[in-house]
A and B are shown apart, each in its own frame.
Chain A
Amino acid sequence: MKQLISSPYSHGDSSLQQVMMQVVLALIPAFGIHFWLFGWGIITNAILAIIFCLGFEAIIMWLRKRPISNTLFDGSALVTALLLAITIPPLSSWWLILIGSLVAIVFAKQLYGGLGFNPFNPAMVGFVVLLISFPKQMTQWVTPISLGEHISLSGSLQVVFGGGLDALSSATPLDALKTGVGMGQSIESVMATSPIFGQLSGIGWEWVNLAILTGGLWMLWRKTIRWQVPVAMLCSLAAIATLFYLIDPSRYADPLFHIFSGGALLGAFFIATDPVSGATSPRGRIVFGIGVGLLTYIIRNWGGYPDGVAFSILLMNMAAPMIDYYTQPKAFGQKGQRD
């Protein structure tokens, strides 16, 4: 019989599954609000993503001749599926989610060796590949229910497996702002003329983002994630946004808009905090977070895409090993010593 061969002989009650399930729980408010405001789209997205992600995970584990059930139910593929589902426009066609799941699980995760060995966040790789390959489908965002009509479940399924969403979609606030400013309009006039803007950012989106913030704060409180990455990312994003907002408020949106728009909060609490692909030393996490925050702002304002969170995170994932190398903490008893 197997037994513990060396100390320690006792173990706390934490498990990988538990960590992953906490992330899943923290996502529930966001999915709930999303469903309430935008309808069935998020649910079909989530169910399809879960089926595809777990399916691909199982197939690869079978091909790699590894025990399937341990890995399948460790929760990591479930988290990837949910993150992918929330970043893809609701009511996306099934094949879009299939491709996203394939890229995320097979290419970004398993081909690198599976959980723990992937240099990039799988969900973000899936999302970015879709964004670059299918720009039209990836920018068809469902209009909030308060602005459009309610689609029934059966209607939603027809859209997902049939196609044709054009009539119901609208630009995201970040997109609308970028287009407007690009055409020479001032931010104030863009926001005044379009019905999609709310108090903090976009109508509906601000509530989803508040729910994400709630889930993120809950994870911080439960110590599922650590404070460095979200704090560093949001502070750096707010700082650079404030700077440019003060320079020219007609061309640059205010910091609150930036934080509550697009993927900033989702990225800060759920994706940049992915420990596998991020920096791991405490100081490194801060550097990592600052990098993501600054890059996000740069891409949003001067890049080709309305949002830059996914790109920023992937870029910083690349830098993580180097960040870790240069931010190693001094060990006990080395404080007074030179390196």
Chain B
Amino acid sequence: MSMLNRKLWKYHGGLHLEDHKSFSNGHESTTLPLPNRLTIPMQQHIGEAAHPIVKVGDRVLKGEMIAEATGRVSAPIHAPTSGTITEIAPLPMPHPSGLDVLSIVLESDGEEQWCALSPTDNYRHATTEELRDKIREAGIVGLGGAGFPSYIKLDPGQHFAIETLILNGAECEPYITCDDRLMRERPHAILDGARIMRHALHANRCIIAIEDNKREAFDVLNSMQSQSGQNDIELVLVPTLYPSGGERQLIKVLTGKEVPSQGRTLDIGIICHNVATAATVADAVIDGIPLISRMVTVTGESISAPQNIRAPIGAPIAELLEFAGRNSGADTQLIMGGPMMGISITDDSLPVIKTSNCLLLQPKLLPKPESPCIRCGECDRVCPAELLPQQLFWHSRAKELEKVQDYNLFDCIECGCCSFVCPSNIPLVHYYRFAKTEVWAQEREKEASNIARKRHEFRLERQEKAEQEKQERMRKKKAALKDKENGKDDAAKKAAIQAAMDRAKAKREANQAQGETNVAEPTPATPDAESESKSES
């Protein structure tokens, strides 16, 4: 069911950018010749790093799991080809931090020998749990760029009813065409993936959203669906506007709903996956093939034949660039991802990872000189998160971490629109990232110092309690001792008085008796007094 005249909504801001998609979207995708050596980082996704389950020297088959997930938000990793493990060590990977990550190096044997795969005969008979487990075991993460483990977004829990599944084929960043090519070349896989995910989620509706600069992809999916006779998936063309591919922006365009700030899409009954993720899900569920390769757009002014290349995970970036041809000459700059949100790569020996959607090689751009902010507000005009970037900048610069949070720093999606339009050429997003890490660092510090403070307080309390108990014990002991002594004195006194009285009495009696007989002996009183004091103590 394709609806061209369907009602669409608008979000605030956004930019009409030159898309540069024609560089690479006109050619059939190619496959990278198998590299000799694959470097596979254990952290290609959001969450906990995977844990290697192979040893150096092990021979592995293509598709075999070589690292297992550790915890809920994590994803396993599989061998992209058959070969021998030659190294397991921290190695550099494409990440803005530039930190080394534990990686498995696989020397390929060129045989591409598959391990045993376990296809699913009919996913419609599978339960949500079975599908979810299959997708988790296949190591599938969001291929649009974020790399969030996909199975989690197919497991919303009992409290959330999913109304709509959205497949994101917007691909709004300039230059990138891997999703475009995938939609044109593997429409059946995307439609199958959509149906599998929809089945797992029990979603009422499924929408595939495509920006209207990818009309061909839309037409291919549309005709594929009408040929199959199924009309269960809505194909929607959305206006080309950066960043419509942002999850929140796309949901707003399609449904008019806004995902709550700091909330999740499933709070409003929506789950969003990338179209490439859907194709990978189809491969994993129907054929049992885990995520071991991906489509990478290799493009830019410094690439002689821009194209989309299917490359195994772990392939050196340099091999993709060589395959597409580097233009000789000018100093170049390599970006992984698009020009708006990608990361700068300075070492082309780094590997392609699960989230590498694009390699953009451009002549080196010199930053324009930065001028002071004049608060012109061009940035707030284009901000799709409806923030005041000029105020965020002001307070980020001053490191006023509470103020930046008042101005909703954490609603910033780092799309880069503000920096793009800034007449003063201020790298605004850079300041926001800095402020975010400062806030996180401060929170960690606060937490650490809180723990330390609590520990210290507990220790003080414990010491004080122990001291009090000691004092109490001593006081009791002393009191008891005193009581004992006091008690003895009293008893002795009483006994002495008693004895004296007894003696006096005896004397009187004796005198009386003397007066009568004069022979009676005085009665001894002490033994009685003694026994009395004993019984008292």
Of residues 407 through 437 on chain B, the ones whose CB sits less than 8 Å from some CB of chain A are 407-408, 411, 414, 416, 419-425, 427, 429-430, 433
Kindly supply a per-residue 1/0 record for chain A positions 13-43, scoring 1 wherever the CB is within 8 Å of any chain B CB and 0 otherwise: 0111011000000000000000000000000
Establish whether residues B339 and A114, one from each chain, have CB atoms under 8 Å apart when the complex forms: no
- Is A65 part of the binding interface, using a Cβ–Cβ cutoff of 8 Å? no
Given A10-B340, A333-B261: A280 in contact with B429 (beta carbons within 8 A): no
Identify whether the interface residues of B are mostly helix, strand, loop, or mixed.
Answer: loop
Contact assessment for A114 and B372 in the assembled complex, using a CB-CB cutoff below 8 Å: yes
- Separation of A332 and B261 alpha carbons in the complex (Å): 7
Are the C-beta atoms of A5 and B344 separated by less than 8 Å?
yes
- Whether the pair B423, A333 counts as a contact (CB closer than 8 A) is no
Query: B71 an interface residue at 8 Å Cβ cutoff?
Result: no
Q: Is A8 an interface residue (CB 8 A)?
A: yes
Is the interface on chain B under 10, 10 to 19, 20 to 34, or 35 or more residues? 35 or more
Chain B: minimal CB distance from A314 (Å): 17
Which of B378, B380, B390, B420 meets A10, CB within 8 Å?
B420
Q: Which residues of A contact B369 (CB under 8 A)?
A: 70
CA distance A336 to B260 in the complex (A): 8
CA of A275 to CA of B376, assembled, Å: 5
A334–B429 CA distance with the chains assembled, in angstroms: 21
A:265-323 near B, CB below 8 Å:
275-276, 278, 280-282, 285
Contact partners of A285 in chain B: CB under 8 A: 377
A282 to B376, CA, bound (A): 11
The DSSP consensus for interface residues of chain A is: loop
Q: How far is the CA of A336 from the CA of B259 in the complex (A)?
A: 10
Give the residues in chain A near B364, CB-CB below 8 Å. Answer: 1, 3
Interface residue? A63 (CB, 8 A): no
A116-B411 contact, Cβ under 8 Å, with A2-B367, A8-B419: no
Is B344's CB under 8 angstroms from A6's CB?
yes
B388 with A332: CB separation less than 8 A: no
Q: Which residues of B contact A324 (CB under 8 A)?
A: 388, 391
Do A333 and B248 touch (CB < 8 A)? yes
The answer to whether B374 touches A276 (Cβ under 8 A) is yes
Mark A residues whose CB is within 8 Å of B: 1-12, 14-16, 18-19, 70, 74, 76, 114-117, 226, 275-276, 278, 280-282, 285, 324, 328-337
Known contacts A3-B333, A19-B376, A276-B375, then 12 further A-B pairs from the complex at CB < 8 Å, ordered by chain A residue: A3-B344, A7-B342, A8-B429, A10-B340, A16-B374, A76-B374, A116-B424, A328-B391, A328-B406, A331-B408, A332-B11, A332-B386
Q: Which 9 A-B pairs have the closest CB atoms?
A: A116-B372, A8-B416, A333-B261, A331-B408, A14-B423, A331-B411, A10-B339, A275-B375, A8-B340
Query: CB within 8 Å of A: which residues of B?
Result: 11-12, 17, 96, 174, 248, 252, 258-263, 331, 333, 335, 337, 339-344, 362, 364-369, 371-378, 380-381, 384-388, 390-391, 406-408, 411, 414, 416, 419-425, 427, 429-430, 433
Pull 26 A–B residue pairs with CB atoms less than 8 Å apart, ordered by A: A3-B364, A6-B343, A7-B337, A7-B339, A8-B340, A8-B416, A9-B340, A10-B365, A11-B422, A14-B378, A15-B423, A16-B424, A70-B369, A278-B375, A280-B388, A280-B390, A282-B377, A282-B380, A324-B391, A331-B387, A332-B11, A332-B384, A332-B385, A333-B258, A334-B408, A336-B258
